[in-house]
Amino acid sequence: MSKDILKLQPESLWKNFYSLTQIPRPSKKEAKVIEFMKKFGEDLGLETLVDEVGNVIIKKPATEGMENRKGIVLQGHLDMVPQKNSDSNHDFEKDAIDAYVDGDWVTAKGTTLGADNGMGVAAAMALLEAKDIEHGSIEALFTIDEETGMTGAEGLKAGLLDGDILLNMDSEDEGELYIGCAGGVNTNASLDYTEEEVPEAVVAYKVTVKGLKGGHSGLDINLGRGNANKILNALLFTSADKFGLRMANFEGGNLRNAIPRESFATVVVPTDSQEDFEKFVAAFTKIVQDEFKKDDPGVEVTAETAELPTKVVAQAAQASLFKAVADCPNGATAMSKELKDIVETSTNLAIVKAGNGKMEMASLQRSLTEEGKDKLAADVRASHEAAGFQAESSGDYPGWKPNPSSSILKEMKEIYNTKYGKVPEVKVIHAGLECGLLGSVYTNWDMISFGPTIRWPHSPDEKVNIATVQKFWDFLLLTLKNAPEK
């Protein structure tokens, strides 16, 4: 960990972000950070509560002379995406993030940084402890489990918060204001299978796809990046036909909202096909590298000899998996007709696993329309079922319908233009912000999402731009100072 982070400006925000990097907080494992935030609020002498699902709410009264302003809810999520490179020994449930300054950016060594959404949480913390910042009444809402199900936002009850304006600080491009987002739904599929004895006269290989950028399955889904599960499956599917390849296991991806960067399989091929198989893998690698030379140039495909497995997947089940993965839709499937250069509907085949008698697949469908989301989920289920899998969709969450007439939008556009000499871009994002769920409970809220510039969230390349953190902070303070009157 580089203590140089503590020298960055604004000091109070970076100090709190540093504190967050020291606390393990992967999604669904937020107990330590919940307790940390509860103590943080109580130590400040502020009204602090933890609701029944684990969301933390801290309330701070208006500063003198600002009592007539509308109350503002500052919102961010406590959990972070736990992604790491294959050569990293980091334990997200025990270890601090090894963050450091790298030129104009802050990033982490071999893991996700947690700027998504540590930046928003740290900004709210800095405001809660500040004694020299003008603001009306503020309530900080720190939700849990945003990244894997939005169960914190989904479980928030009415009547806990009093504000009229929600500032969601979970966007990733400074100078942009978001007024809408996609909804999403998870689709999972499974198939039980029998194992068979390993054929005679075979050689085993560990086949690996790695070096891909991965990234956010909403923000980065249209950037032409490779899906490791799709790439590995294409190699295995073809090799089963050409060489009689048999698979022992398949392990690809681990988070539904991250484009899979790495996939692995243990396979066997007949000894007399060994040379031809290795030549095929080399040729396949060149094809893949040529396909992704612009958008994902680091991709590698390797086949290294390995110990023979004890069992292999039954041949019919193996064929079912290869068909299911090959036929499953993946990537951006429709662009918005109303919004320029915005993905309307997409799907990410995030996880593929086969081992110990069970095959599983998990994907996430997103859309700006309910119809698009439901239809794509149905198409994904149908592709799985056609291959013999059982499939179901769950965890449906709504999108956030844009309100171009928003009063806080008008105010923030004017503030930004006065401060920086340009009008911020107003956008709808193809990602799942919590605003849709939160706004369905607190229907009076006028909502905006904004934040500093973060690149490659949900991947070990995640980084936050230092200069934009200062701009984000200054903009936030001006927004609070100029909040509308009641």
pLDDT tens-place string over residues 145-161: 999 889 999 999 999 99
Structure tokens at 447: 């909502």
Whether 79 is a known active-site residue: answer: yes
Residue 440 corresponds to which tokens in the numbers above?
A: 């369905």
Q: Are residues 393 and 408 in the same domain?
A: no
The span from the CA of 477 to the CA of 463, in Å, is 23
Assigned domain for 360 exists: yes
- pLDDT at 140 exceeding the cut of 70: yes
Final residue belonging to a domain, choices 373, 397, 421:
397
Q: What integer best gives the mean pLDDT of the chain?
A: 96
Shared domain check, 253 and 265: yes
Tokens standing for 130?
A: 């500040």
pLDDT of 37: 98
CATH number of domain containing 104: 3.40.630.10
Q: How far apart are CA 366 and CA 154, in angstroms?
A: 17
Tell whether 37 and 87 lie within a shared domain: yes
Examine the domain organization and report whether 337 and 375 are in the same domain.
Answer: yes
The pLDDT assigned to 1 comes to: 55
Contacts 24+ apart (CB under 8 A), 380-385: 380/187, 380/328, 380/329, 380/347, 381/187, 381/189, 383/324, 383/327, 383/328, 383/329, 384/187, 384/189, 384/324, 384/328, 385/189
Sorted by sequence, the CB contacts under 8 Å of residue 95 that are 6+ apart come out as 24
Check if 272 is active-site. no
Strands 105-108 and 463-465: antiparallel
**165 DSSP β-pair partners:** 72, 446
Proportion of the chain above pLDDT 70, given as a percent: 100
Answer yes or no: is 486 within a domain.
Answer: no
Residue 416 located in a structural domain: yes
- Is residue 407 assigned to a domain? yes
Q: Is 319 helix (H, G, I), strand (E, B) or coil?
A: helix
Residue 299's pLDDT band, with cuts at 50, 70 and 90, is very high
Give the tens place of pLDDT for each residue, 414-473: 999 999 999 999 999 898 889 999 999 999 999 999 999 999 998 999 999 999 999 999
Is residue 199 domain-resident?
Answer: yes
Catalytic residue among 30, 139, 145, 146: 146
pLDDT tens digits, one per residue of 249-262: 999 998 889 999 99
Q: Which residue has the tokens 């984000």?
A: 472
User: What pLDDT shows up at residue 337?
Assistant: 85
- Residue 367 shares a structural domain with residue 435: no
| Rounded distance between C-alpha atoms, residue 365 and residue 358, angstroms | 23
Residues 224 and 336 reside in one and the same domain: yes
- Whichever domain contains 388, its CATH number is 3.30.70.360
**Same-domain check for residues 38 and 167:** yes
Task: Give the end of a domain, one of 371, 397, 423.
Answer: 397
**Predicted structure pTM score:** 0.80
Sort residue 39 into left (φ over 0), alpha (ψ -120 to 50) or beta. Answer: alpha
For residue 177, the cross-strand partners are 426
Residue among 30, 79, 145, 147 flagged as catalytic: 79
Longest dimension (CA), the chain: 84
Confidence at residue 477, expressed as pLDDT on a 0 to 100 scale: 98
- Together in a domain, 190 and 175: no
Q: How far apart are CA 199 and CA 315, in angstroms?
A: 11
Mean pLDDT within 205-219:
95
Residue after which a domain boundary falls, among 397, 416, 439: 397
In the prediction, which pLDDT does 480 show?
97
> Is 94 within the bounds of a domain?
yes
Q: Answer for the pair 289, 154: CB distance below 8 angstroms, yes or no.
A: no
Concatenating the DSSP letter of every residue in 244-298 gives --EEEEEEE---TTB----EEEEEEEEGGGHHHHHHHHHHHHHHHHHHTTTT-TT
Please report the DSSP string for 407-457 in residue order.
HHHHHHHHHHHHHHSSPPEEEEESS--THHHHHHHSTT-EEEE----EEST
Residue 118 · residue 19 · CB < 8 Å = no
Instruction: Tell whether 192 is covered by a domain.
Output: yes
Query: Domain check: are 26 and 152 in the same one?
Result: yes
Q: Give yes or no: residues 206 and 72 share one domain.
A: no
Q: Looking at residue 404, what is its pLDDT?
A: 85
Same domain, 299 and 445: no
Domain that holds residue 315: 185-397
- For residue 328, is it within any domain? yes
* Count of domains observed in the chain: 2
- Cα gap 225→220, rounded to integer Å: 8
Please give the Cα distance from 45 to 40 (Å, whole number). Answer: 9
Cβ atoms within 10 Å of 394's Cβ, excluding its own? 10
Phi, psi values for residue 25, rounded to 5°: -155, 45
Q: Which is nearest to 468 in space by CA: 49, 88, 164, 14?
A: 14
Q: What pLDDT sits at residue 262?
A: 96
Domain check: are 82 and 178 in the same one? Answer: yes
| pLDDT tens per residue, range 20-69 | 999 999 999 999 999 999 999 999 999 999 999 999 999 999 999 999 99
Is 13 a residue whose pLDDT tops 80? yes
What pLDDT does 46 receive? 98
User: Under DSSP, is residue 363 helix (H, G, I), strand (E, B) or coil?
Assistant: strand
Per-residue pLDDT tens over the stretch 300-313: 999 999 999 999 99
- The answer, yes or no, to whether residue 87 has pLDDT greater than 90, is no
